Structure 1
């Protein structure tokens, strides 16, 4: 009887893997140094290269529910683990906005060859390169090989105004606007033309990354992508978040509170755009008393969360309809692994049909909350982030085993001081002064971490 119970318990905690009925086939090196290739379906590729997804994730007993897992992301002390430091480069976009590009390891720490693989990371709603969930991936990925890591380069793309990046344009960022990650990847590809790029996105950043990969299609400069806790159907997820008292009162309001604090930090700059609707919208957003996320988005994000067109939108719901990423899954043409949790209190709808696209695989754990996945570690009260292992396995396979299909990338060139892609005259970027050194365990005072 005990053996049966153990078997059933183990099966309960096994991640569920979902694939489209018609698989995509990948060319894969038999070993990193081998010239011999195997032709594997995406499912066979994951089974061979991501074995941890075939093993159970059992949450720490004191963090059993999704609420506890998510809460620990906010209140947990991660300052002594996964220490990562960065060199920051600021990019000025064609519309006058600023993006922060944080690269690790810093050049002062060690020098890597130009063909070293690069993991390009997009953070969550109000996060940045300092977030513990970002560092939990970059620490093992960027640690030198002789110390047990992969020895890769990591680059975090910090959205406008996040993680200390200045706000220099009335245009903000949003869950659907991909122009900033697009120009950031142009910058990375031009600086390191021989490097393999793999993208990783968290929460809102996962939504942006999914849309970017889909929009690029066969011309995507990433070899593979991984998205964690992606909100997918932003319309229905918003409705479920707002229509449940606990989720509305705790999570929706906490995210809106973070956004208000972020905007308040940049109040002087944003209110200075007197000839733009951003100025009034910022005043209105900061005047809201304990708003929910949809109330904040209805007041500010729907108006200034991206270029015009498509912004401004009539309502937040119209913005959510445009920003959703589940509808673009059929357009993806690189291997994409999405990992979610059934008990995520913020993301409650998961497109397990993979959009009918053989390039997309979804792994769904029974537990884990929103960006949690904490399991018991060694020592009383210690935890590990289970998610690090499968993500690192996926990254390594994408950089060392996968042989991407031949793709033609449009040429990059400088025009009027801005880096642009041939055929795209509306967006571009250039380096500007103001970067520096960023210590990855120093948080953003006042902001709730992990959201």
Structure 2
């Protein structure tokens, strides 16, 4: 029995070393500003990423990470913002007025976080990011998308991967209030698609000093196919779809003239929900048209601010073969870092489940590089 256990441990260790504990792949244009920025300020990407020995596989790491609470709570101040269509969104501020590194609020570097599908400022990964960033002296703000966190929905408009108007409103409001404070935006999962689209639309007029895209599903077309696989349906798709339907149920009457209620409620997958609700609310003829419009891989060439994309080779929401390797290497402003392992919005690092994630290490160094050049 002892020998069998020992042999099993040896085989597992050999497999772990073979598939994990490697340096990430970095796709960046040689001699570009991004290449120099990463070389000078982000040395962690030249180190091996070591996912937990006890949970290296991406799908299970994604699930485990979701249940690990952040090291410390974060206190926010909530601002209610009226949108241009008389709807509303929230901005949760972690102003960090006690910052010793940046005591002047007028020039304090600020990070704007655009979370994932149903995430809010209280989602574990968001709290952990904000805690890390405020420790570095930065101010943070988090957008709460329409209908989330028990927000009343006032107009028949929701949010989606191609809806950037609310995010743009937050950026404009911030720059009016703090015109001299540099601003970097981090988009996570669905939020990264919004940020990417915004960067492509605004180009030189983004009002941003830089951006990060974490676990970006660059091609929702391929991401949807991946989530339709039976194992991903069971682990992620059904659960997320149920959450979306629960949110929809709270304000379904507002959309009764746009969507068929029974069809929405009968949705089994995110694709079903996007077909019966999202595509119709945002004026698409089909879910395929919506997903095609949401693809940002070919839009990377339009980015004009330094943008670091961080993903993994086992992200069930963004399959490896669909990542924009060549587009990143052809861009003057984009770099793509892909880890071996890491899952979706996870990147747990080392043995300890509460340790700083690999993404947070990259985030910390990238922010330092961006803000030091301002």
User: Please, what TM-score do these two structures have when normalized by structure 1?
Assistant: 0.74
Question: Within 2, Cα distance between the matches of 1:12 and 1:377?
Answer: 12
Is it true that 1:15 corresponds to 2:24 in the alignment? yes
Contact 1:137 1:392 in 2 (8 A): no
Contact 1:302 1:312 in 2 (8 A): yes
**Structure 1 vs Structure 2 CA RMSD:** 2.4
Contact 2:29 2:332 in 1 (8 A): yes
Counterpart of 1:373 in structure 2 is: 347
Cα drift, residue 250 of structure 1: 2.5
Counterpart of 1:440 in structure 2 is: none
Counterpart of 2:294 in structure 1 is: 323
Seen in structure 2, the aligned counterparts of structure 1 residues 393 and 163 have a Cα distance that, compared at 3 Å, is farther
Counterpart of 2:243 in structure 1 is: 258
Counterpart of 1:424 in structure 2 is: none
* CA displacement 1:189-234 (0-9 Å, x = unmatched): 1111110001111000011001111111011101100110001111
Contact 1:326 1:351 in 2 (8 A): yes
Is it true that 1:45 corresponds to 2:37 in the alignment? yes
Cα drift, residue 12 of structure 1: 5.3
- Structure 2 unaligned spans of 5+: 1-13
Is it true that 1:77 corresponds to 2:60 in the alignment? no
* CA displacement 1:44-93 (0-9 Å, x = unmatched): 2101101111111101111110011111133x2305x1321111111111
Contact 1:10 1:56 in 2 (8 A): no
Q: Secondary structure at the match of 1:157?
A: strand
Question: Within 1, Cα distance between the matches of 2:371 and 2:346?
Answer: 25
Decide which of 216, 220, 223 is 1:237's aligned counterpart: 223
Q: Secondary structure at the match of 1:337?
A: strand
Question: Within 1, Cα distance between the matches of 2:235 and 2:19?
Answer: 32
Question: Within 2, Cα distance between the matches of 1:77 and 1:227?
Answer: 22
Seen in structure 2, the aligned counterparts of structure 1 residues 109 and 364 have a Cα distance that, compared at 3 Å, is closer
Question: Within 1, Cα distance between the matches of 2:232 and 2:20?
Answer: 29
Seen in structure 2, the aligned counterparts of structure 1 residues 300 and 223 have a Cα distance that, compared at 3 Å, is same
Seen in structure 2, the aligned counterparts of structure 1 residues 344 and 325 have a Cα distance that, compared at 3 Å, is same
Q: How many residues matched?
A: 355
Seen in structure 2, the aligned counterparts of structure 1 residues 193 and 283 have a Cα distance that, compared at 3 Å, is farther
Cα drift, residue 383 of structure 1: 4.3
* CA displacement 1:376-404 (0-9 Å, x = unmatched): 355xx65442211111111121112x24x
Question: Within 1, Cα distance between the matches of 2:290 and 2:95?
Answer: 37
Counterpart of 2:193 in structure 1 is: 207
Counterpart of 2:8 in structure 1 is: none
Decide which of 391, 397, 420 is 2:369's aligned counterpart: 397
Is it true that 1:362 corresponds to 2:362 in the alignment? no
Question: Within 2, Cα distance between the matches of 1:359 and 1:106?
Answer: 29
Q: Secondary structure at the match of 2:54?
A: helix
Counterpart of 2:54 in structure 1 is: 62
Matches within 5 A, 1:29-178: 42-74=34-66, 76-78=67-69, 81-105=71-95, 113-143=105-135, 150-178=136-164
Question: Within 2, Cα distance between the matches of 1:11 and 1:174?
Answer: 34
Question: Within 1, Cα distance between the matches of 2:37 and 2:197?
Answer: 23
Question: Within 1, Cα distance between the matches of 2:357 and 2:45?
Answer: 14
Question: Within 2, Cα distance between the matches of 1:11 and 1:94?
Answer: 47
Counterpart of 2:204 in structure 1 is: 218
Decide which of 179, 185, 196 is 2:182's aligned counterpart: 196
Contact 1:178 1:209 in 2 (8 A): yes
- Structure 1 unaligned spans of 5+: 26-41, 144-149, 305-310, 404-451
The structure with more helix, counted as a fraction of residues: 2
Seen in structure 2, the aligned counterparts of structure 1 residues 255 and 53 have a Cα distance that, compared at 3 Å, is same
Counterpart of 1:285 in structure 2 is: 264
Cα drift, residue 105 of structure 1: 3.4
User: Please, what TM-score do these two structures have when normalized by structure 2?
Assistant: 0.88
Question: Within 2, Cα distance between the matches of 1:365 and 1:77?
Answer: 21
Contact 1:136 1:385 in 2 (8 A): no
Question: Within 2, Cα distance between the matches of 1:259 and 1:323?
Answer: 19
Cα drift, residue 334 of structure 1: 0.6
Seen in structure 2, the aligned counterparts of structure 1 residues 376 and 169 have a Cα distance that, compared at 3 Å, is same
Q: Secondary structure at the match of 1:14?
A: coil
